Amino acid sequence: MNQANLRPNDRYNEEDSNTTANPHIDAVISARLSRRNLLAGGVGAAGGALLGGLGLSGCATPAATSAVVAQSAPLSTLGFTAISKSLADTVTVAPGYQIQVLYALGDPLTGSTPAYKNDGTDTDFDKRAGDHHDGMEWFGLDANGKPSASSTSRALLAINHEATTDEKLSSFFLHANGGTSKLPRPASEVDKELAIHGISVVEIEAKGNRWSYNAASPFNRRVTTMTDVLVHGPAKGSEHLVTKFSPDGTRARGTVNNCGTGKTPWNTFVSGEENWAGYFFRDAKDDERRGKKDKQVAALVRYGRKAGDASRHGWESAGAGDAYVRWNNGALAADAKSDYRNEMNTFGYVVEMDAYNSRLAVRKRTGLGRFAHESVSFAKPVPGQPIVAYMGDDSRGEYMYKFVSSARWDAADAHSADPLGVGDKYLDRGTLYVASFKSDGTGQWLELSMVNPIVAANPDFEFKSDADVAIFTRLAADAVNATKMDRPEWGGVNPRTGDFYMTLTNNSNRTVDGEMGVDAANPRTYTDIKGGQQSSGNVQTNEYAKAAVPGKEQKGNVNGHIIRVAQTNPADTAFKWDIYLFASEADADKTRVNLSNLTDDNDLSAPDGLVFSPSTGICWIQTDDGAMTDKTNCMLLAAVPGQVGDGSTKTLAYKRADGSEKRVDTPMGKAPTADHLKRFLVGPVNCEITGLCESPDGRAMFINIQHPGELTPMADVGNPAKYTSHWPANAGYGAGQRPRSATIVITKTDGGVIGS
Ligand code: FEO
Ligand code: CA
Ligand code: CA
């Protein structure tokens, strides 16, 4: 959910706790150049006006040095016709393509689970598809049900179920009357909500060009907030993970707010726990109770939980049982072994799962750090070299990370009979880094471990071990002055060039100066008017757009951008970077907002999902937008990008209230042409488009439509005519009219490769 459409509960989707005073890039550089400049940069008012870009400076960035990776059949241009923006309550796709709804919230995952009635009376959600389908990966099956890298017609989809459509505590489409919107929440409602979060595995099969899922498949699996999981990596056994459930700190219970995904080179599923903090309650006296010496107090705040913070769903209020009490940070007993004071520390990791084996517990890979994880992108593995994984922390002003394994890649591990054992080998021991972007188009990955004296001797927060670094990662990254980014979301590695791309979805807190002042890597702050006179005549049909008239002022980096990083060797600490794409409305000012020359065929806002197709090399870009939803629903675009260094430097100049000027030089990639960036699909009303995987031949593509109709008022749950979306019921899928998150499959009507 994008912050531009905030309901009261949506603050749980975007906590904002990075108040550290890390100097941003320009301040650091200014400090080196001139103390006077630094002072000027620090005192300017946040409301300075943008003078406008000063055009290309002519100092082209150096050519990329990334290794070119051979790729079988990459597409050099996009073969389809771009589609228009749309506010229709349907999935619109490029001409020559068709879509089919495959697997929606509540669909049964066992042969004996009743069909989903979709009227709020359904139960047994641990045997049904969860809610808010998000990241998704393909795991092929052959005719004998064995793992297959080549099968194109039978597979398992592993899918994150991030959250649920909620208002005033309740997941209201899940309950017949909308549920209970005050505390205490009834256990009967909470039990359903605990089960609709997590992950599912579902078997799918094609007969001709018709796909279906198999409700009775023995491979089907649910992992929920209640499933036993194992703690792995440096934090295993830490005193900070000791709970009543696991007195030795080696086990934990469940996974929550699973957002982006990844697929390891050894064919397992990885999933990022993102906005987990919001599920936890802290009462107003919790700081006092814990006492000033408890370093957990600083950590709880840095991870978004101040004393007095309410929880998103009030699960902690549903009774005295462990299933509920564990969500209350402040219910302290005699010691950590008798209560859940540390429960929040058991969330915030990347979890790894063998999609083919439901008997094996999910493993929390603590070596990859603890933050608001989105996706995990693996560099192409090279025998004899470390495994490298890129990750982002999605909150305003948070950081980009990289993990480098201690073990060197052995190609035989790609086909192991014990893939989670292979995961232990590569993900449990290694080094975590955080990114620092310099304004000259170079950057540095800074080590987060006790080897780095800045971490080990940090005066602000005591790190005693690498377990502490794994658990309190954000505080370690603060210590080394990492660059505060505009909400890092998904990443992807371009199979053609090896360049790593990351979406920076937007940042309403980006200002000209101050702690989140514009810098080279996050260079835009501007004002956009949504709806009202600024809308370009689109008929505003949904409830939210009507409410937005006569126009709403949006500030900061309203539309987001996509940054990319090139390295000679992925394990190196030095990198080069540029900005591949500035998202924008087509009619925005081309000198300061629409810097990538976007048109009506490819303008977008809030890039979030980003997946490179292994078969075609297309960079698929998905949006989770609230800023441009007066003009269009969220969308999927296809891109064929170049490489880091293929553009030139852009200078932006901001005028402060006192008349002084701040100039930002940013290395920018070559602007995309009409053949290299096109809108492919637009979703129904109030949805996010997310998750993407494909069959190995590139002829079937799977994406998720998350939370259609999410801006329906809870009070209207009994009145289908008032729902802002009726999808997928209006596409002929399933019973009832309540909108449902769902997986769809896209095929070309002539059976061809998607995007060709
Ligand atoms: Fe779950 Fe940052 O998106
Ligand atoms: Ca606008
Ligand atoms: Ca996301």
Radius of gyration of the chain (CA): 24
Ligand 1, atom 1, lies closest to the CA of 259
Encode pLDDT of 282-292 as tens digits: 999 999 988 87
Q: How far is the CA of 605 from the centre of ligand 3 (A)?
A: 13
Q: How far is the CA of 124 from the centre of ligand 1 (A)?
A: 26
Residues 534 and 551: beta-carbon distance below 8 Å: yes
Q: Which numbered atom of ligand 1 lies nearest the CA of 259?
A: 1
pLDDT at 34: 36
pLDDT at 68: 36
Order the strands of the 635-639 sheet from edge to edge.
92-93, 677-682, 635-639, 619-623, 607-612
Strands (E), 288-399: 350-353, 363-365, 373-378, 386-393
Ligand number nearest to the C-alpha of 534:
2
Residues 304 and 277: beta-carbon distance below 8 Å: yes
* Residue 237 reports pLDDT greater than 90: yes
Encode pLDDT of 395-410 as tens digits: 999 999 999 999 999 9
Ligand number nearest to the C-alpha of 487:
1
Alpha helix (H) residue ranges in 12-89: 25-33, 35-43
CA–chain centroid gap for 671, Å, is 25
* Cα 232 from Cα 423, distance rounded (Å): 10
The 3-state DSSP class for residue 306 equals coil
Encode pLDDT of 652-688 as tens digits: 999 998 999 999 999 999 999 999 999 999 999 999 9
H-helix or E-strand containing 677?
strand 677-682
Residues ≥6 apart with Cβ < 8 Å to 97: 80, 680, 746, 747, 748, 749, 754
Read off the amino acid at residue 629.
Answer: T
Q: Which numbered atom of ligand 1 lies nearest the CA of 505?
A: 2
Taking residues 225-230, report their average pLDDT: 98
Q: How far is the CA of 535 from the centre of ligand 2 (A)?
A: 6
* Residue 132 reports pLDDT greater than 50: yes
Q: What is the largest CA-CA distance in the chain?
A: 73
Confidence bin at 1 (pLDDT 50/70/90): low
Ligand number nearest to the C-alpha of 691:
3
Ligand number nearest to the C-alpha of 594:
2
Strands (E), 511-612: 526-530, 552-556, 561-566, 574-582, 607-612
* Cα 259 from Cα 489, distance rounded (Å): 9
Q: How far is the CA of 216 from the centre of ligand 1 (A)?
A: 31
Encode pLDDT of 83-97 as tens digits: 999 999 999 999 999
* Least trusted range by pLDDT, from 94-103, 472-481, 533-542, 558-567: 533-542
Q: How far is the CA of 368 from the centre of ligand 1 (A)?
A: 17
Ligand number nearest to the C-alpha of 163:
1
- What 8-state DSSP symbol labels residue 358? T
CA distances from 717 to 29, 285, 468, 584, 714 (A): 54, 36, 45, 34, 5
Lining residues, ligand 1, CB within 6 Å: 162, 259, 274, 374, 394, 489, 608
Alpha helix (H) residue ranges in 203-356: 286-290, 296-302, 322-325
Q: How far is the CA of 488 from the centre of ligand 1 (A)?
A: 9
The 3-state DSSP class for residue 710 equals coil
Read off the amino acid at residue 483.
Answer: T
Residues 147 and 696: beta-carbon distance below 8 Å: no
Q: Smallest Cα–Cα separation from 519: which of 33, 4, 30, 60? A: 30
Q: How far is the CA of 167 from the centre of ligand 1 (A)?
A: 18
Encode pLDDT of 596-632 as tens digits: 999 999 999 999 999 999 999 999 999 999 999 999 9
Residues ≥6 apart with Cβ < 8 Å to 723: 709, 712, 716, 737, 738, 739
Q: Which numbered atom of ligand 1 lies nearest the CA of 274?
A: 1
pLDDT at 700: 98
In sequence order, what DSSP letters do the residues of 634-675 get, joined into one string? -EEEEE----TTSSEEEEEEEE-TTS-EEEEEEEEPPPPPTT
Q: How far is the CA of 658 from the centre of ligand 3 (A)?
A: 38
CA distances from 412 to 138, 265, 408, 421 (A): 21, 11, 12, 13
The 3-state DSSP class for residue 548 equals helix
* Cα 745 from Cα 205, distance rounded (Å): 11
* Cα 406 from Cα 395, distance rounded (Å): 29
Confidence bin at 294 (pLDDT 50/70/90): confident
Read off the amino acid at residue 601.
Answer: D
Taking residues 262-267, report their average pLDDT: 98
Q: Which two tokens stand for residue 380?
A: 């192409």
Q: How far is the CA of 12 from the centre of ligand 2 (A)?
A: 25
* Residue 55 reports pLDDT greater than 50: no
- What 8-state DSSP symbol labels residue 320? S
Q: How far is the CA of 84 from the centre of ligand 2 (A)?
A: 16
Confidence bin at 194 (pLDDT 50/70/90): very high
Burial of 405 (0-12, 13-18, 19+ CB in 10 A): buried
Encode pLDDT of 495-528 as tens digits: 999 999 999 999 999 999 999 999 999 999 999 9
Task: Provide the pairing of β-strand 363-365 with 228-232.
Answer: parallel
Helix axes 35-43, 25-33, angle to 10 degrees: 150
* Cα 69 from Cα 578, distance rounded (Å): 20
Q: Smallest Cα–Cα separation from 710: which of 734, 678, 738, 668? A: 738
Residues ≥6 apart with Cβ < 8 Å to 389: 262, 368, 376, 377, 378, 379, 402, 403, 427
Residues 672 and 594: beta-carbon distance below 8 Å: no
Vertex 710: Cα angle to 123 and 681 (nearest 5): 110
Ligand 1, atom 3, lies closest to the CA of 259
Q: Which numbered atom of ligand 1 lies nearest the CA of 260?
A: 1
For the beta carbon of residue 412, count every other beta carbon within 10 angstroms: 10
Strands (E), 475-582: 488-493, 500-504, 526-530, 552-556, 561-566, 574-582
Confidence bin at 82 (pLDDT 50/70/90): very high
Taking residues 345-361, report their average pLDDT: 98
Q: Which numbered atom of ligand 1 lies nearest the CA of 489?
A: 2
Q: How far is the CA of 386 from the centre of ligand 1 (A)?
A: 28
* Cα 510 from Cα 517, distance rounded (Å): 6
Ligand number nearest to the C-alpha of 689:
3
pLDDT at 532: 67
Taking residues 336-350, report their average pLDDT: 97
Encode pLDDT of 370-400 as tens digits: 999 999 999 999 999 999 999 999 999 999 9
pLDDT at 9: 59
Q: How far is the CA of 194 from the centre of ligand 2 (A)?
A: 37
Task: For the chain, give the percent of residues with pLDDT over 70.
Answer: 89
* Cα 365 from Cα 230, distance rounded (Å): 9
Residues 698 and 753: beta-carbon distance below 8 Å: yes
* Residue 548 reports pLDDT greater than 50: no
Q: How far is the CA of 351 from the centre of ligand 1 (A)?
A: 16
Taking residues 339-356, report their average pLDDT: 98
Q: Which numbered atom of ligand 1 lies nearest the CA of 394?
A: 2
Q: How far is the CA of 610 from the centre of ligand 3 (A)?
A: 9
Vertex 442: Cα angle to 440 and 448 (nearest 5): 130
Q: Which two tokens stand for residue 119?
A: 């009227």
pLDDT at 121: 98
Encode pLDDT of 303-325 as tens digits: 999 999 999 999 999 999 999 99
* Residue 445 reports pLDDT greater than 50: yes
Burial of 284 (0-12, 13-18, 19+ CB in 10 A): exposed
Encode pLDDT of 551-576 as tens digits: 788 999 999 999 999 999 999 999 99
Strands (E), 453-606: 488-493, 500-504, 526-530, 552-556, 561-566, 574-582
Confidence bin at 542 (pLDDT 50/70/90): very low
Q: What rounded mean pLDDT belongs to the chain?
A: 91
Confidence bin at 180 (pLDDT 50/70/90): very high
Q: What residues form DSSP beta bridges with 654? A: 50, 662
Task: For the chain, give the percent of residues with pLDDT over 90.
Answer: 85
* Cα 253 from Cα 246, distance rounded (Å): 9
Ligand number nearest to the C-alpha of 589:
2
CA distances from 379 to 232, 376, 442, 568, 570 (A): 22, 10, 19, 12, 7
Q: Smallest Cα–Cα separation from 564: which of 132, 60, 66? A: 66
Q: Which two tokens stand for residue 575?
A: 């990198």
- What 8-state DSSP symbol labels residue 119? S
Burial of 551 (0-12, 13-18, 19+ CB in 10 A): middle
Q: Which numbered atom of ligand 1 lies nearest the CA of 372?
A: 2
Ligand number nearest to the C-alpha of 3:
1
* Cα 296 from Cα 288, distance rounded (Å): 12
